[in-house]
Each structure stands twice: as C-alpha cells, then as structure tokens.
Structure 1
Amino acid sequence: MSKMQHLQGSILTPQGWVDGEITFTDRIENVRAGDAATSGKTYILPGFIDLHVHGAGGKDTMEAGDAVSVIARRHALHGTTSMLATTMTAPLGDIEAALNAMADVIHQRPQGAARVLGVHLEGPYINPGKLGAQPDFAGQGDIKQVLALNALAPIRLITIAPEMPGHMELISQLVDAGMRVQIGHTLGTYDEGVQALDRGAKGFTHLFNAMSRFDHRAPGMVGAALAHAEYSEIIPDLLHVHPGAIKAALRSIPHLYCVTDSTSASGMPDGQYMLGRQVVHKCLGGVRLEDGTLAGSTLTMDQALRNLVSIGLSLEEASHRVSTYAADYLGLSERGRLQAEAFADLVVLDEALNLIAVYVEGEKIDLANA
C-alpha cells in the first residue's frame, strides 16, 4: 500500500474550487474544505494529459529502444501525467519497430515518468498532398493492417484523411474496433468532413494545421470542425495558431483540448534534431523543416496552460483544456479530475502558474532536472 500523502491549497474539483486539503495514495482518497489558513495562492490542478507527443529530450518516438521512456520522463517534468506516444508516417517496418518498443512502457510505467496510455497513430493513412511535416510514406488504410499494429501496442487514437479511397468505410471499421478516429492531414471538403463525423470520427488533429482551410464559399475541413465538432486538438504555442483563431475555435468547439505535438527538440537547445526520418531545426522557439514548414513544436503542457491564461481564459477553463477534456475524449473517467477514487495525477502551481510539484499516480516527480 502506498503511503498516504496530503497537500493543501486551492484545489480544482469537478464542482469548482475548494480551499482545503487533498489526501491520496496512488488514488485520491478525499478532498475536503479547510479553514482560511489552508487557502492561498497555491493551486492544485489535475495533471496534464497530452494526446499528441512525438518526442522530447532529444528522443523521438520512432527511434524505438528507450526513446518513449525518456520522452515520458521529460514531459512529466512539465506536469504531463499521462500521454499518447505518437507515431510518424513511415514505412510499415519502422512503425512496427516503434510500436514494439512502446509496448513495455505502455504496460509498465517507468519510475519518474508520465503514464503512456497507448499509441496515437498519426498516419500513414493521410493525404499525400497534405503531409505537413510528415515524411512521404502515406498510404491507403486497411483494417487488417491496423489491427495487426494494434496487436503490437494498443492504438487509442488514429488520424485519418477521410477523402482517400476506402477511408470512409475504414473509419466505421476502426470505430467498431474500439478506436478513436480523428480527421487530419487532409484536403477533404466540408461535406467529406461531415460524412466522416457521421461515420463515427470524433475529432480533428491539430485544428487549422495540415487541413483544407475555411472559405465562406468552400468551408473546407476547418469549416466542418467549427460547425460540427464536439472535440478537437489544437496546439496553443501561439505559433501554430494565432490567438484570435484559438478564440474562434473556443467559441465553436465545446471540448477543444490542447496538445503539444512536441518533438525531440522539446527541452533541448537550438540545433538539429530528428522527427521520424526527417531532419528538423529548432530555432527561435519553433521547429521547422529545411523549407521552413512548421514541424511539430517545443511546447510543454505547463506552458500551454500559461498561454491559455495569457489570452484570457480563466485558470479553471484552461485546466479543462489541458486535462479534463482530453480524458473525456478517450473515455477516461479516472483521470483529468480531482475527486475520490480517481488516479492521483496532479500538479501544484504557484501564483505565477509555475510548477511546484507533480504527482503521477501518487509518485512525486523529482523536478530538479526540469
């Protein structure tokens, strides 16, 4: 049995803020209101949940080996308590090797690391005309192939370009197999986006980026998202998407949630890094291919929270966008909320919203190397 732990501060619960004490082992035992002495400018929030992670600390998920363990530890230093290891479009053998390496980390969380909930398969079932920073290995999807990959490591989320031949049917098959399907790296029309949602797709991959744009006579995939989506990712590094566009999406998509789309350059100095099979360059806070195309980010989830607050969101709403809504999207009722019996995934912040402490399933993360 894990040791009982206690923290005091302003605690964000599903019912709102409570000034008091939270008690937990690996799961939360109790949240109770206290007297004025326990309140103040220490905020206790649900741990961050990132459903789109390619790398950090110089490691890329496609490297196999110990890469995902290193990545999960680095993101835990920034308050991410659970995440999806995200692949790149690549030859099938590379994807198989990456998933084989991920399996052990998914089944057994390394000490000091975020919980890796499973895989986000971002491609190869995307449109070769909208690769973004993905390598040119896009291909037509096949349910047997996806199920074979899922047998190597559990695929919780898969990005699909629905306009590609056979992909509308594939969406239905993937949903029947229990996977979350979202639309991305797509040149699809508004009507194709609506049809994909009707087939069971539930979200959109990095909204606005790598998808057909909104025009008042051709609303595109962005229009389908703004008009119909309940959930969508967005990258709030304030580089991928202008704050005004983020605000438009917040008014349109009830459960818009944030991801980092982080690369191996996250937490590293400026220089040259790998993103799958491609060389990327970190400079001036961004990551780009040789031709200048944005290639993922160096964002961390604690900075995502601060960015949301900086553009006008309350701390409570920002917390939902970096934690609770992502948990809801995957159907994770025991994460993304501070209540009895939920996992003790939490972050402690000071008045400036800097991290003071991080707990993953009750384990206190050593922030000395953050």
Structure 2
Amino acid sequence: MTPLTSGPPPARAAAAPSLPGDAGPETDTPLLIAAGTVILPDREFSPGWVEVRAGLIVGSGGGTPPRPADVTAPHGILAPGFVDAHSHGGGGVSFNDPDTRAAAHRIVATHREHGTTTMMASLVTAPIDEMETLVTALAELVRDGLLAGIHLEGPWLSPAHRGAHAERLLLPPTPQSVDRLMRAGAGAVRMVTIAPELDGGLAAVARIVGYGSVAAIGHTDADYETSRAAIEAGVTVGTHVFNAMRPLHHREPGAALAVLEDPSVFAELIADGVHLHPAVVRLIIESRAKPVFVTDAMAAACADEGDYKLGDLDVTVANGEARLADGTIAGSVLTLSKAVRFAVLTAGVPLAFAVRAATQNPADLLSLTDRGRIHPGLRADLVLLDAALHVTATLHHGTWVPSPSRPAREL
C-alpha cells in the first residue's frame, strides 16, 4: 500500500449547511450538493459536487457545479455514508436485547445520526436457543432493509481469547450448531466470527462459506499455520485484529500476521485509542490486508456512561471505556465518525485512506455493490463533514437524516 504521507486536514471549522429538501426514492426532484472536497473511490475533487435523483447518485465532478447547488459547504468534506460491519448496539440498547426489533431500530437511528448509513447487527454469545430466536427476528429486519445483515460473534470462539463472551456459553462448531443458526437466518447471516483451531473449526469455515456468508477469524488462539489454513478454507476477514487473538511474536506470529500479510483478506480495526495504539492503527492501514474500521460498539455508544449488560456479562462504562469487572475490554462506545476522526487527527492516517476504511472496504467485505462509493448509479448514501471531521449532515438513500439537534432541512 502507498506509504502514509499526508497529514490531517486544516482545523478550520465550517458552519453547518442549510439543507433544502430531499431526493429520496419517492421523489424525482434532483439535489445538487457542492463541497470543498468530494472523496471518490480513486480521486478527490477540491472543490467538487455530487448530484442525486430518486435516491441514487447520478453524477459528480470537480470545480463549479453544472447549475446552482441546492446545498453548499465550501469548507465541507463530502464522502460516502459509513458502513459498519461490526456493531452490537448504541443509544442504550443492544441487538441481544429481548425486544430486538425495537432495539435494532433505535441502534440504527443512533448511528445513522453520526453518518453510518449501513449497519450490520452483531450478536454476542448467548444460549443457542436464544441466539436462534434473535437471528430469526433480526432476519426480518434484514429483509425489510433496515439492516445489511447479521454478524455472529459467537458461540464458536476460543475460551482462551473469549473477551466479553461468557465462557460457559461457548460451543464447538459442530455441523448441527452451524446449520441451526445459519438456517435460522435464511440467508441473513452475512458474517460469522470463528476460532478455526477448535475441533471441527476448519470444516465449519467451509460450511459457513457454503451458506454464502463471510467467515472471519477472531477470538482465536490459532497459530500462524492454522490461521493460514483457515484463510485457505475460506476466511476473508480478521475480526478486530490484535484484539482477542494470540499476540504477535517473532517466533510465532499467530493470526494477526496471517491476516495482515494477505491482500485477499480484510482486517477489522477499532480506531478508538483504547483497543489499538495509534501506531498500530497506521500499521494495519499500511499492511497488505484491506483495512476496515468497525465500531464493535455496545449499548453505551451515544448514551450515558454507567452499568450495562453485554450478552450475559456485566459491563461498566467510564471515561469512554467499556470493561468487565476484571478489566477486559467489552466492546466500545465508538461511532465510525469518531473512528475516522481518530485515525486522521491522532494516528496521522490520510483522510482518503480513512474514508475508504469506513466506506468502500466494508461494503466490499459484505459484497454490497450498491453503496460505499460516490459513483453514478449507486445509492445516495452520503455524509457531510466539517473541516474538523465532525458530521454536519447525513443523506440516507437520498433523504436527509433528522436528529434532535439537527432537524432535517434546518441545519
């Protein structure tokens, strides 16, 4: 990958733009947005513009727009909407909550307000009967379009690197247990994290891929050779690399190096300053793997600090960190907008690299070909950032996303 050379953007802040109208799927009214910077997959326009009609991107370009813009942000940055492939909750609730449909709507709305226009529902380990019920309920929301899919982070994980998963609920990946949860999703389970060194683990990887799902290596004690075998069997993602896996060692590099040296594999990273040092964030971005920012957010994201549940376990959130009683990190309180901001302003990652890790790379990971890029014909999922990389507006499928602090059309 190209070495990191450019620094953070200027710190000059911009006023939030006025947003006059939508171009959602129900209307054919065009919407033209002009910004100081527009980030495309392979280039940037400074300044640039994007035109939207009927919920789709219909054009983009650099310089002066072809007609007077409906929205103008001369110091703003226009990027694709963020895609979160790994999130457990937010707004005070979790996808593992019993009323998972209501929780899912709240979680999606919470993160959408912060620029995430596509979200996966990640489930932590629970009793398999409960997981089956949750998968069945969430699958309806996938079919309705609220969610991009379901991510099973458990129950087929290593007890040695279980993180915030209850050890008593972990299971070996038998064909029966894999089939049970995959069939409950009826195609909605889009990603599964698994420890391939478990008995039957490599066969389970192939079985998961056979269902059309993405297999991810994580919460694993696999050595380098087993990790390479898992990639050969079909693993294409490393779940929050370096966290909940055997540490990198010069004589036994484990799963982390197996992931980072392979250009066919996506590497999840949690860029919050808690899970990874800024230098390690840069290391992953510069690796041969395709970096993907994920939040791994739990219920306390965008909510008050205090005591929470993550699956079966008690979590205390204080000073921006979520931890079990023994100090184990238990997810995050991150949004993808914060991840991009941390990566650029603290870790020194070039803006275009950070945007790609939060948009097109996760879209590619999940085979979502209709979003994650600014390109004609794709969904009009866009996020407008100010020069300090704070979200000032979000467009979801051509419609402005309202928020309590920023009602649509009144920013």
TM-score by length of 1: 0.94
Corresponding residue to 2:137 among 101, 125, 132: 101
- What does residue 131 of structure 1 align with? 162
Corresponding residue to 2:249 among 196, 208, 215: 215
Distance 1:293 1:39, change over 3 A: closer
C-alpha contact 1:64 1:102 (8 A) present in aligned 2: no
- What secondary structure sits across from 2:132 in the alignment? helix
Summarize the alignment of residues 13-92 of structure 1 with structure 2, pairs less than 5 Å apart. Answer: 13-18=40-45, 19-24=47-52, 25-35=54-64, 40-65=74-99, 66-92=102-128
1:316 equivalent to 2:355? Answer: no
Summarize the alignment of residues 179-198 of structure 1 with structure 2, pairs less than 5 Å apart. Answer: 179-198=213-232
Summarize the alignment of residues 143-162 of structure 1 with structure 2, pairs less than 5 Å apart. Answer: 143-153=175-185, 154-162=188-196
The amino acid of 1:364's aligned partner reads: W
Partner Cα distance (1:35, 1:26) in 2: 23
C-alpha contact 2:282 2:348 (8 A) present in aligned 1: no
Distance 1:57 1:39, change over 3 A: closer
Mean CA deviation greater in 220-229 or 311-320: 220-229
Partner Cα distance (1:185, 1:362) in 2: 38
What is the Cα deviation at residue 369 of structure 1? Answer: 4.5
Distance 1:21 1:244, change over 3 A: closer
C-alpha contact 2:182 2:211 (8 A) present in aligned 1: no
- What secondary structure sits across from 2:51 in the alignment? strand
Partner Cα distance (2:48, 2:197) in 1: 52
The amino acid of 2:331's aligned partner reads: G
What is the Cα deviation at residue 30 of structure 1? Answer: 1.4
Distance 1:104 1:177, change over 3 A: closer
- What does residue 267 of structure 1 align with? 302
What is the Cα deviation at residue 257 of structure 1? Answer: 0.9
- What secondary structure sits across from 2:355 in the alignment? helix
Deviations 1:61-100 (A, max 9, x none): 1114211111111010111000110001111111122222
- What does residue 140 of structure 1 align with? 172
What is the Cα deviation at residue 33 of structure 1? Answer: 3.1
CA RMSD, aligned part only?
1.7
Mean CA deviation greater in 258-267 or 360-369: 360-369
Mean CA deviation greater in 124-133 or 10-19: 10-19
- What does residue 165 of structure 1 align with? 199
Distance 1:139 1:63, change over 3 A: same
What is the Cα deviation at residue 174 of structure 1? Answer: 1.6
Mean CA deviation greater in 220-229 or 205-214: 220-229
C-alpha contact 2:39 2:374 (8 A) present in aligned 1: yes
Partner Cα distance (1:246, 1:339) in 2: 28
Give the structure with the larger helix fraction: 1
- What secondary structure sits across from 2:33 in the alignment? strand
C-alpha contact 2:139 2:150 (8 A) present in aligned 1: no
Mean CA deviation greater in 97-106 or 122-131: 97-106
Mean CA deviation greater in 27-36 or 345-354: 27-36
The amino acid of 1:27's aligned partner reads: L
The amino acid of 2:77's aligned partner reads: Y
Mean CA deviation greater in 14-23 or 256-265: 14-23
- What secondary structure sits across from 2:60 in the alignment? strand
Partner Cα distance (2:40, 2:337) in 1: 19
Partner Cα distance (2:348, 2:390) in 1: 17
Partner Cα distance (1:235, 1:123) in 2: 18
Structure 2: gaps of 5 or more residues: 1-25, 407-411
- What does residue 281 of structure 2 align with? 246
Partner Cα distance (2:40, 2:160) in 1: 44
Structure 1: gaps of 5 or more residues: 110-114
Deviations 1:31-75 (A, max 9, x none): 133428978311110000111110101101111421111111101
Partner Cα distance (2:242, 2:165) in 1: 16
Distance 1:364 1:119, change over 3 A: same
Partner Cα distance (2:234, 2:120) in 1: 21
Deviations 1:268-299 (A, max 9, x none): 12210111121111101100011111100001
Distance 1:97 1:39, change over 3 A: closer
The amino acid of 2:114's aligned partner reads: H
- What does residue 258 of structure 2 align with? 224
The amino acid of 2:127's aligned partner reads: P
Corresponding residue to 1:349 among 369, 374, 385: 385
Say how many residue pairs are matched.
365
What is the Cα deviation at residue 199 of structure 1? Answer: 0.8
- What does residue 112 of structure 1 align with? none
TM-score by length of 2: 0.85
